[in-house]
Amino acid sequence: MTATTPAAPLLVIGNGPAAHQLLDRIRHFGCQDPVTVLGAEDTPAYHRALLTSALDGSLPAEAMELPPPPGDTTIHTGACAVRIDRARRLVHTADGGVFPYSRLVLATGAAPLIPGLPGLRTPDGEPAAGVAVLRTLADCARLTDPAEMAARAPVTILGAGSLGVEAAFALALKDRPVTLVHPGPWPMDHLLDRTAGTLVCDRLAAAGVEVVTGTPAASYAPGTLTLADGRALAAGTLLLCTGVLPETGLARAAGLGVRTGIVVDDRLGTDDPLIHAIGDCAEHRGNRGGSLASGWAQAEALARHLATGARGVAAARRVLRPRIAGPGLVVLGIPGSVPADETITLNDPANGRYARLELTGERISSGVLIGFDRAIATTTELYVHDLPVPRDRLSLLLGRAARVARKGPVELCPDSVVCLCNNVTHQDLTDAWHAGARKVTDLATATRATTGCGGCTRQVESICTALASTKAAATGS
């Protein structure tokens, strides 16, 4: 190997949420070194978790953008890295660019998994005609082709995990006939029990989605998906929501250790001391992240390691908030993954509401809540910050234990946390707005609201609109 080139920057491959968090956190820990980012997509970094809001047209692509990173950071969009030359510490891009590095971070994420079902690929390995995926804004643009939207062309979705469920609601909202096919007994059966799964199924049916469960798909030919029981479903567009695979091609070709993901240790290091990996592409202690929370925890740990030499990755507290029609759904952690000391359930089928929380000690180890919006806000905050639940469990589920004190016991006071990921209150946003942050992106820069899972972006937009109207009314403008 050659000696480290002092002028070479920290180079990051990938411009998704994990990379974005790393760029923010290394400055937080005081690192002022130059950073270069190579992102294969043509767009600035955006909230991937909000893609179905672009699919149903409720958010313009610009509102999904993440704020520009602080400090001396150069971002190259449309720059796809194709080779790592470890001996010369260089990365080559598809357009002939060559980028030196002092250290390299792989944040290449994951790509949709195309199952080995007959007919899904052409002989040269490309997706067959009519087969679509949903991982990027470009995928969204293809799925919302104006001619197909105008013709209300039907879509069949294969896989009712959280992505398949979200996509079904989004496309149904755009008046597309949607069939959702899932081999399991109910949607999201890997996370939801029968009661919660049935409620989600009812909501899908109410939104006009035809749900076909319990039968795997057998084969595809353009226009038709055939199920194992012989049924043939019309599938002008077949949207695959069948999972993702970590993007490990660059690492593998460079001779780095790869199992399912790129293997990293407690300093997020690969087996090359100058190369790290974070986010959906990484595999830490045998675990593939696959969630925003794990990517952020790894980005935080790597930023701290680069600044201070510390090692260790905090356990990620995963919050999944699939966007469904009607009152919200949240899945905290992975239900059933940790033995529970206590399980609290509240079932209100007449109103389509259900909650199940698993506690270890006095803390939430996992949970599913559907329809209890105030309780969703409170329990999510308790879970994310690993805080004890109040002794009055019912008050928690009924949303009466509203505001959570970050230190000390849980208090009963008005619920005003808007961005649960960053603990930003309505008041914080109002103050920032009055201080001049008038757009969602400005508020994100000022308060960090929306820069977590992005689930509060619409709420922040409404706060912006409400404050602007109040000001206009007050000034008569």
83 CB neighbour count, 10 Å cutoff = 13
DSSP summary character for residue 53: H
Span from 13-21, 232-240, 367-375, 379-387 in contact with ligand FAD (CB under 6 A): 13-21
Smaller CB distance to ligand FAD: residue 35 or 51? 51
C-alpha distances (whole Å) from 133 to each of 111, 129, 150 are: 9, 12, 20
Q: Work out whether 35 is an interface residue with ligand FAD (CB under 6 A).
A: no
Distance CA 456, CA 140 (A): 21
Look-up of token digits 């149903």? 56
Nearer Cβ to ligand FAD (197/322): 322
Exposure b/e, 257-268, CB count within 10 A at least 16 = b:
bbeebbbbeebb
Is 268 a binding residue for ligand FAD by CB under 6 A? The answer is no
Provide the 3-class DSSP secondary structure of residue 145: coil
Task: Dihedral sign for Cα 93, 95, 96, 101, please.
Answer: negative
Q: Distance between CA 442 and CA 434 in Å, rounded?
A: 12
Find the radius of gyration of the CA atoms of the chain.
Answer: 23
Q: Looking at 110, 157, 188, 235, which residue binds ligand FAD (CB under 6 A)?
A: 110
List 10, 12, 17, 258, residue binding ligand FAD (CB under 6 A):
17
Q: How far is the CB of 121 from ligand FAD (least distance, A)?
A: 20
40 binds ligand FAD per the rule CB under 6 A = yes
Pattern of binders to ligand FAD over 70-99, x per CB under 6 A?
A: ----------xx------------------
272 counts as binding ligand FAD under rule CB under 6 A: no
Query: Smallest gap, in angstroms, from Cβ of residue 109 to ligand FAD?
Result: 2
Site string for ligand FAD, 158-177 (x = CB under 6 A): -----x--x-----------
- Contact window for ligand FAD (CB under 6 A) among 261-269, 314-322, 401-409, 468-476: 314-322
Is 69 a binder of ligand FAD (CB under 6 A)? no
Q: Quick check: 418 binds ligand FAD (CB under 6 A)?
A: no
Q: Of residues 157, 250, 258, 446, which one binds ligand FAD by CB under 6 A?
A: 250
Of 7-15, 225-233, 300-308, 407-415, which segment contacts ligand FAD by CB under 6 A?
A: 7-15
Structure tokens belonging to residue 365: 């180890």
- In order of 54, 151, 195, 200, 363, the CA distances from 170 in angstroms are 9, 17, 23, 14, 34
Work out how close the CB of 84 gets to ligand FAD at its nearest, in angstroms, rounded to a whole number.
10
Site for ligand FAD in 389-408 (CB under 6 A): none
Instruction: Please report whether residue 291 would count as binding ligand FAD according to CB under 6 A.
Output: yes
**Is-contact 267 313, C-beta < 8 A?**
no
C-beta neighbour count of 338 within 10 angstroms: 12
Residues 444, 45: contact at Cβ < 8 Å? Answer: no
Residue from 41, 272, 283, 300 touching ligand FAD (CB under 6 A): that is 41
Choosing from 39, 197, 335, 367, the residue that interacts with ligand FAD (CB under 6 A) is 39
Give the whole-angstrom CA distance, residue 108 versus residue 247: 6
Measured over the CA atoms of residue 28, residue 34, residue 40 and residue 44, the dihedral's sign is positive
> Residues 279, 328, 333, 390: which binds ligand FAD (CB under 6 A)?
279
49 in contact with ligand FAD (CB under 6 A):
yes
Name the minimum Å distance from CB 38 to ligand FAD: 5
Binding ligand FAD by CB under 6 A: which of 290, 326, 327, 399? 290
**Amino acid at residue number 50:** L
Angle formed at CA 343 by CA 164 and CA 202, multiple of 5 degrees = 35
**Residues touching ligand FAD, count (CB under 6 A):** 37
Structural contact between residues 376 and 416, judged by C-beta atoms closer than 8 angstroms: no
Cβ nearer to ligand FAD, comparing 324 with 463: 324
H or E element: which one contains 384?
A: helix 373-384
Instruction: Rank residues 63 and 453 by Cβ distance to ligand FAD and give the closer one.
Output: 453
Q: Exposure string (b/e) for 157-168, b if CB count within 10 Å is 16 or more?
A: bbbbbbbbbbbb
Q: Between 263 and 401, whose beta carbon lies closer to ligand FAD?
A: 263
Mapping DSSP onto H, E and C, the string for 162-223 reads HHHHHHHHHHHHCCCCEEEEECCCCCCCCCCCHHHHHHHHHHHHHCCCEEEECCCEEEEECE
Instruction: Give the per-residue contact string, 131-150, with ligand FAD (x = CB under 6 A; - = no).
Output: ----x---------------
Q: Encoding tokens for residue 97?
A: 């660019």
> What does the binding site for ligand FAD look like in residue numbers (CB under 6 A)?
13-19, 38-41, 48-49, 51-52, 80-81, 107-110, 135, 163, 166, 247, 250, 279-280, 290-293, 295, 318, 320-321, 453
